[in-house]
Structure 1
Amino acid sequence: MSEQDWLASQFEANRERLHSVAYRLLGSASEAEDVVQEAWLRLSRTDGGGLHNVAGWLTTVVARLSLDALRSRVRRREEQLDIELPEHDIPDSKQESLEQQAMLVDAMGPALLVVLEYLSPTERLAFVLHDLFGVSFEDIAPIVGRTPAAARQLASRGRRRVQGVGLASKPDAARQREIVHAFLLASRSGDFTALLELLDPDVVLRADAAAVLNSAKQAVGPKFAPEIRGARSVAETFVGHARAAQPALVDGIAGAAWAPEGTPRVVFSFTIAGDHIVGIEVVADAAHIAASNVVLDLG
C-alpha cells in the first residue's frame, strides 16, 4: 500500500467522527463538510511517515479550522472580542465530575446546538472537544493558545453558561411541528408580521453552496446567501415564498423539504427554542441530503 493510499484509508476511518466534531463546533452540516474536506487536503500534502497519531492530528486540524470559522463569524458580526478571564477565575475544586458532564451532554440532545451559540469561540471549542469527544485539556491547550489549566477553565465556563441558558424552554415535538407549519403558512401567504413573530430577533439562516447557487438561478423563490442574520432579513427572504415546500422530519426533527415527485431536493432544518425559530439551515447538496433521514409529512 502506498503512503497516499494509507493516508486515505486513515482519513476515511476517521471521517464520520471528524464531521461530528466539526458539526458540533459549527452547527452547520455544510460548513462541517467543508472543514473536513480541507483537513483531508492538508493530510494528503503531509508526510505520513512523521505522523504517529493520525486521528489526533486530524482532530486538531478540524478543531483549528472550526475555531477560525467561529472567530470569523464574530468579526463579521462586529461583536465583542473573545475576552478570557484570568486562570484563577474558576477553582478546580468546583469542576463537575465526568459523570455529571456526560449527563449534561446527554440531556441536551439536538437543543445543544442552540445553547452553544451563547458561548465564545474558545469556550465552545474547549467544551465540545472535552465534554463531547473526550479530548484532553493538554491537547486542547495549543489549539486555543492557552495553558491546559486555562483550557480547563474555558470548558468549565462554557459548561456553566450552557447550564445557565437552560433547556426548560425547549418545545416538545408536537409544538415544534406546529411552529414549522405556521412558518410555512406565513411564508406562502406573505404574512410578514406572522413571520416576525415566529422568528427569534437574532435568528440565523445558513445555506449551503448548492442552495445559494440554485436560488440565484431561479427567477422566482427565495434568494439565499451563505448566512443571513436577524428576524427582519430572514423574514424578507421567505415572505411570499416556500409554496412548494412541505413539512418533513429531518433526522427526527420537525423541518421542511422541497420534494418534487417525492424526492427531497432542498431540505430546511429548523432549530427552535421556546416558541421561536432561532436557526434555519438550507441544504441542497445531494450528498448531504442522501446522508440525512428525511421523512415527508404526507398527513
Structure 2
Amino acid sequence: MSTTAARRAAIEAADLVRTYGKGDKAVRALSGVGFTVPSGAVFGLLGPNGAGKSTTVKILTTLAEPDSGHATVAGLDVRREPRRVRHAIGYVSQKPSFDPVATGRENLVLQGRVYGLSRLDARARAAELLTRFGLGDAADRLTGTWSGGMQRKLDVAMGLIHRPSVLFLDEPTTGLDPEARAGMWAEIARLAGDDGLTVLLTTHYLEEADQLASRLVIVDAGRVVAEGSPGELKSALQGDSVAVELGAGDLVDRARQAVRAVPGVGDVDLDGTTLRARVRDGAAVLPGVLAALDAAGIRPAAVSVARPSLDDVYLRHAGRAFREADQAEGVLV
C-alpha cells in the first residue's frame, strides 16, 4: 500500500441528504450529514432509534443513493464506483445473514465463494475465522442450534471472509446478553487494534460507543449534533452532573425550581422523572441541592453525582435525553 493510500481517510461523507416519499408525505431522513473516519479506527455512529444512522450506512454501503452530497469509502466514490466499494467493505446488518439450516463452515465457505474465492481458499479462510472467533468446536453443527452470541460472531466472520479494508457493523450487539456483548466488544476492539481494520459501528448503546470508539458522531433527526472522541466530548462539559431521581408523587416543576435556585447549579434538564443539573463542583453543591429539595417538601428517591457522560453530551446538543429520544416513535431510519 502506498504512503498516500495509507494516509487516506477510510470514509468521507459530506452534506448527505436523503428524503423518502414525495409531496406532503416526504420525510427528510438526512439533512446534511458529514464526517470523516480515519483508517484503522473504530468509529461510532451514535444516535437514538430513528436518528438517521441506518440511512447513512445504506448510502455508504451502496444500498441507497443520497439525494445530494458526496461520500467515499476506501477512497472509492459510492455513487460512481459501487461495485468496487462492495468488494472493499464488509457489512454486518442488524438482522442475521447466515443460513440456519447450514453449518458454520458451510455458511463461511459459501460467503467466500460469493466473493470470488476459490473453493480451496474459501475453506482455508473459513477455518481461520472459525478458530479466531472460537467457533471451531461448533463448526460442523447447524447454526440454527447455536447460541445468540455464537450466531452474531458468525455474522461478523462472514463480513470478514474476503478481507475487507472497512467493516460496517450495524447494531452488532442488539439482543445479546451481557456476557456475549462483552465478548463482542473485545473482538471488535481486536479487529482494529491487531488487524488495522477500519470499523464503523452504529449503535444506540451509549456505553458501547464510549467503550469502543476512538471517535464518534452523534446524530439526531438526520443531523450531526456532536463530533469528537468520547473523552473530548465529555471534557467539553466542564464540571459534574447531579442526577435527582424523583418519586412518582413529587412535583417536577417545584423540584426543578428548587434545584435551579441552588448556587453553583447551571442548566437543569428533565429526563423522565430524573432531573439532571450541570454543576461546577458536585461535592460542594450536593448539600445545597439536598437542602433545597427538603425545603420544598420533596423527598427524592435517589441523588447522585457523576462526571459527564455521553448522555449528558447528547442532552446538551440535542436538547433532550438520549433515553427519551430512543423511546420516542419516529419515522427516520
* Shorter-chain TM-score range: under 0.3
Relative to the length of structure 1, the TM-score reads 0.24
TM-score by length of 2: 0.23
Q: Which has the higher contact order (CA 8 A, sep 6+)?
A: 2
Name the larger-Rg structure.
2
